């Protein structure tokens, strides 16, 4: 069985802020998604079911390999000494403004790469596919799955596609293509952030949680009933609902950001959204509960943004704290009704 895979890449980041400059920082949407899943995966044997590909070029730092290997996931390294590793340059300005550009050519990951790296049967059995790409690429991936794996839609196979759209293509011009995919035969969890969701509708970035809820309801009304829409709202946390014909505020579940009450703990927001979705995907694959998945997403994202790059890791500890302890803190701090043991048990393999 495979719980999760991603077409997101590993990127080695260079990060420039007003006061500092950092080099050889582990990054990339695929990396952070698998980080999020790993943080919430308290059964270490399950981490091997987190399937992802890391393309190492001639310049790949040894310490980054050691960091990834310490997570003990189902990572497959592919080495090419004739190319540079995909690298990116991040500049942060006032109000968390971020600009990004590639410093070395990117190497995309496709269905054929999954099949070659994990085997066709493993790809067929994956529960959740994390897709970080345009609508055109999502459609192409679905076509290739159907063609290469006799994959005929999740109404029959039960798999879920967690789609994180490319920010630059979240606009009115691309909305019809997005709607077409989200009303097809596959089961989608669609997750733009609040600003991206607003741009798709031709609206300005929401500033209040109530405005974010309005954006979510408008998006959900465009999506096939049964699919899920998750709006990532940064400091305000997350909003999610299962789409239906007439979505209302009563359908929305909101969970606060892990560090909503401790913003001083946030050092670098890079990768927070990817980490949220990786954790959400893992939890959803385990229990099909969007409340538990949202809780896991917010906890993992909070862990990811406490430092430059990825958190320190030692066994069950991330930044010297276990997921179980973070969960207890989160539930008590925000006075949530979900039970600590109930959530932990839902993330364990089913016992027959």
- Residue-wise pLDDT for 231-244, tens only, equals 999 999 999 999 99
Q: Give percent of the chain with pLDDT exceeding 70.
A: 96
% of the chain at pLDDT higher than 90 = 87
Question: What six digits make up the tokens of 344?
Answer: 């932990």
Given this model, what pLDDT does residue 352 score? 38
Whether the pLDDT of residue 154 is over 60: the answer is no
pLDDT of residue 155: 41
Query: Residue 266 — very low, low, confident or very high, per pLDDT cuts 50/70/90?
Result: very high
The answer to whether residues 271 and 277 touch, using CB atoms and an 8 Å cutoff, is no
What confidence score (pLDDT) does residue 1 get?
A: 64
Average pLDDT, the chain: 94
Report the pLDDT value the prediction gives residue 111, as an integer from 0 to 100.
Answer: 95
pLDDT of 147 = 82
pLDDT of residue 151: 59
Burial class of 292 by CB neighbour count within 10 A (0 to 12, 13 to 18, 19+): buried
pLDDT one-digit tens code per residue, 161-207: 999 999 999 999 999 999 999 999 999 999 999 999 999 999 999 99
C-alpha distances in Å from residue 125, one per residue of 122, 179, 282: 5, 26, 14
For residues 170 and 202, give the distance between their C-alpha atoms in angstroms, rounded to a whole number: 10
Backbone angles phi, psi at 216, to 5 degrees: -60, -45
Give yes or no for a contact between 301 and 275, defined as CB atoms under 8 angstroms apart.
Answer: yes
* 208-259 pLDDT per residue, tens: 999 999 999 999 999 999 999 999 999 999 999 999 999 999 999 999 999 9
pLDDT of residue 149: 73
Average pLDDT over residues 283-291: 97
User: Average pLDDT for residues 293-306, to the nearest whole number?
Assistant: 98
Q: How do residues 28-78 score in pLDDT, each as one tens digit?
A: 999 999 999 999 999 999 999 999 999 999 999 999 999 999 999 999 999
Q: What is the mean pLDDT of residues 128-135?
A: 97
Q: Delineate the domains of the chain, giving CATH numbers in brackets.
A: 2-346 (3.40.1190.20)
How confident is residue 351, by pLDDT bands cut at 50, 70 and 90?
low
């Amino acid at each position: 069985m495979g719980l999760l895979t991603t077409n997101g890449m590993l990127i080695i980041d260079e990060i420039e802020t007003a006061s500092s400059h950092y080099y050889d920082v582990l990054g990339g949407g695929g990396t952070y998604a698998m980080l999020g899943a790993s943080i919430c995966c308290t059964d270490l044997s399950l981490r091997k079911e987190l399937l992802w590909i890391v393309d190492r070029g001639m310049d790949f730092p040894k310490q980054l390999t050691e960091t990834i290997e310490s997570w003990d996931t189902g990572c497959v390294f592919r080495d090419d000494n004739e190319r540079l590793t995909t690298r990116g340059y991040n500049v942060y300005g006032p109000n968390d403004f971020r600009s990004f550009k590639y410093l070395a050519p990117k190497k995309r990951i496709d269905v054929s790469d999954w099949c070659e790296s994990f085997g066709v049967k493993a790809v067929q059995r994956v529960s959740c596919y994390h897709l970080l790409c345009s609508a055109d690429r999502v459609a192409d991936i679905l076509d290739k799955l159907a063609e290469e794996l006799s994959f005929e839609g999740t109404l029959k196979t039960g798999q879920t596609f967690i789609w994180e759209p490319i920010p630059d293509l979240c606009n009115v011009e691309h909305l019809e293509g997005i709607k077409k995919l989200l009303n097809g035969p596959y089961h989608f969890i669609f997750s733009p952030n609040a600003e991206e969701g607003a741009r798709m509708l031709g609206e300005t970035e929401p500033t209040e949680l109530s405005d974010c809820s309005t954006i979510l309801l408008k998006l959900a009304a465009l999506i096939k009933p049964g699919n899920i829409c998750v709006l990532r709202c940064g400091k305000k946390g997350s909003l999610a609902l299962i789409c239906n014909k007439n979505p209302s505020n009563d359908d929305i579940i909101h969970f606060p950001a892990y560090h909503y009450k401790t913003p001083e703990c946030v050092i670098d927001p890079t990768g927070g959204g990817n980490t949220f979705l990786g954790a959400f995907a893992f939890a959803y694959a385990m229990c099909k509960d969007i409340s538990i998945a949202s809780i896991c997403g917010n906890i993992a994202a909070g862990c990811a943004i406490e430092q430059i790059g990825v958190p320190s890791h030692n066994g069950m500890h991330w930044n010297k704290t276990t997921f179980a302890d973070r969960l207890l803190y989160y539930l008590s701090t925000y006075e949530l009704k979900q039970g600590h043991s109930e959530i932990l048990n839902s993330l364990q393999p089913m016992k027959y």
